[in-house]
Amino acid sequence: MNNIKINQELPQNLKFLKAQRVIYANAKKIYRWQLTISIVVVVTLNIIKLTQKNFTTIDLTPYIALVSVSVTLFDLLFLSGYLSKFKTNGAKVQELFDCNVYNMEWNETNSGDKPENWIIEEAENKYVHNPKAPLSNWYHIELDGLNQQEAILRCQETNLEYDRKLRYHFKNDCLIICLSIVIISFVVATIINTSLQGYLTNFIAPTLPLIVILLKLVLDNKKAVRSLEEVRKAVRKLRNAGGTPSMNQLRQVQDKLYCSRKDSSLIPENYYQYRRAKLEQSTKINVANPL
């Protein structure tokens, strides 16, 4: 038999869940600022560049270039590094939770040092309970009758399936929004009978930063989905092979999960909440009844 259901309710492990939720929430705030600054500033600069002749004779090109470079450097030197630190800390705390619940050794070679205690304590103190996103019964899937290794594998498969589906839907929705922007702007341009140059200058150019960001999100999540699908196939193969998987095999799966959490792009919290209920239900069904 396994002790995962008992372990996940222990105060120390609930503490890790509280901390990782706060850390990821902070990371998503930074990510939101990063996107907002990129979109608002670049769109504003495009509009200024297109309309500058209407309100000034001064050539604003060098000033626009200076602002653009400054925003880029601020993003590269400050926001990106700060965001990466929060994502790594969040992934480490989540990894610590899984290791404790699974009774699995921490892999320092793959995950580095464990998160420092002050990071966990500071984040936990900022946690605010959300009844729509409870922390209890984290692994709410059926684990009765499974030994420890089999239960771990099912939990890992749940994590893989959930993250894969969430990113798959997010990727598709970003693509739909991107195509909608282009199609709607084209329809409007056609209705007002603008030229191709006018369409590109007055419709596409100002929205190009948003389109680029959406396409980047599509490509990043497509890459993450492909990686998760490869690990998922390996897990299914391991599960269907018969017998009990070894802790070494489970550790390899866990390492892939950690890397995905650390390196993949973040999903906005409101989108996560929007998809959560349906994803949990479908994931539970798919894991319980594998192909």
Write down which residue in 87, 102, 131 finishes a domain: 131
* C-alpha pair distances (Å), 173 with each of 169, 176, 228: 6, 5, 19
Considering the domain architecture, whether residues 126 and 189 belong to the same structural domain is answered as no
Per-position pLDDT tens, the chain of length 291: 789 999 999 999 999 999 999 999 999 888 888 778 777 776 776 677 666 666 767 766 676 667 766 776 777 777 788 888 999 999 999 999 999 999 999 999 999 999 999 999 999 999 998 887 788 889 888 888 889 999 999 999 989 988 999 999 999 999 998 888 888 877 877 777 777 666 666 666 666 767 777 888 899 899 999 988 888 888 888 888 877 889 999 999 999 999 989 988 888 888 888 887 777 776 666 655 554
Q: What is the pLDDT of residue 248?
A: 92
CA distance between the termini of the chain: 24
Structure tokens at 213: 């960001």
Considering the domain architecture, whether residues 278 and 171 belong to the same structural domain is answered as yes
Query: Using alpha carbons only, how large is the chain's radius of gyration in Å?
Result: 23
Q: Please state the domain count of the chain.
A: 2
Q: Quick check: is 152 in a domain? A: yes
Record the pTM.
0.81
Considering the domain architecture, whether residues 285 and 168 belong to the same structural domain is answered as yes
Residues with Cβ within 8 Å of residue 238, at least 6 apart in sequence: 153, 245, 249, 253
Q: Quick check: is 140 in a domain? A: no
Q: Quick check: is 136 in a domain? A: no
Q: Quick check: is 137 in a domain? A: no
Which domain covers residue 217, as residue numbers? 147-291
Q: What is the pLDDT of residue 1?
A: 79
Considering the domain architecture, whether residues 175 and 87 belong to the same structural domain is answered as no
Considering the domain architecture, whether residues 110 and 160 belong to the same structural domain is answered as no
Q: Which residue has the tokens 């069904």?
A: 285
Residue 108 neighbours by CB distance under 10 Å: 9
Considering the domain architecture, whether residues 287 and 157 belong to the same structural domain is answered as yes
Considering the domain architecture, whether residues 178 and 274 belong to the same structural domain is answered as yes
Considering the domain architecture, whether residues 126 and 151 belong to the same structural domain is answered as no
DSSP state of 53: G
Q: Which helix (H) or strand (E) holds 286?
A: helix 269-288
Q: Quick check: is 21 in a domain? A: yes
